[in-house]
């Protein structure tokens, strides 16, 4: 399994009028990613300092690359750099080990 951790800060001068567009595009990207071959999961979190952290899991690096290169995703990536994000950091990692407690899927 491949895990991508996307950490980002929005621009301090981000126009609040962009929020509906940001939410619409985020929803569309989740729909698109979850329809891609090899998609496993997506989670997003907001830290107290304003940082957004997204964790995306795909089965293989080839699946991650296909998602990265998807034309609609590429368009939103560029829009994010141009209009929304002050900074971001992306880490793509191969899972070496997984531990679970309890050992079944009950929560």
Dist. CA 83–CA 62, nearest whole Å: 29
Tokens describing residue 103? 């050992």
Distances (CA, A) of 75 to 17, 66, 98: 20, 14, 34
Whether the pLDDT of residue 44 is over 90: the answer is yes
Distances (CA, A) of 69 to 3, 32, 35, 84: 16, 12, 14, 20
Is-cis flag, bond preceding 52, omega within 30? no
- Domain residue ranges in the chain: 2-94
The dotted CATH code for 2-94 is 3.30.70.100
- Spatial strand order in the sheet of 52-58: 39-46, 52-58, 2-10, 85-94
Dist. CA 91–CA 88, nearest whole Å: 10
Tokens describing residue 49? 């300092």
Q: How high is the pLDDT of residue 102?
A: 81
Per-residue pLDDT reduced to its tens digit, 26-43? 999 999 999 999 999 999
Report residue 107's pLDDT band, with 50, 70 and 90 as the boundaries: low
Report residue 12's pLDDT band, with 50, 70 and 90 as the boundaries: very high
Q: How high is the pLDDT of residue 105?
A: 66
pTM over 0.95: no
């Amino acid at each position: 399994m491949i895990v991508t951790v996307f950490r980002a800060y929005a621009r301090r001068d981000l126009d609040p009028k962009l929020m509906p567009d940001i939410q619409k595009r985020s929803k569309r990207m989740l729909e698109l990613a979850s329809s891609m071959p090899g998609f496993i999961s997506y989670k997003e979190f907001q830290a107290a300092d304003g940082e957004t952290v997204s964790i995306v899991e795909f089965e293989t690096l080839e699946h991650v690359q296909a998602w990265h290169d998807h034309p609609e995703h590429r368009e939103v990536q560029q829009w994010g750099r141009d209009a929304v994000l002050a900074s971001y950091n992306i880490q793509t990692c191969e899972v070496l080990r997984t531990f679970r407690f309890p050992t079944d899927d009950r929560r």
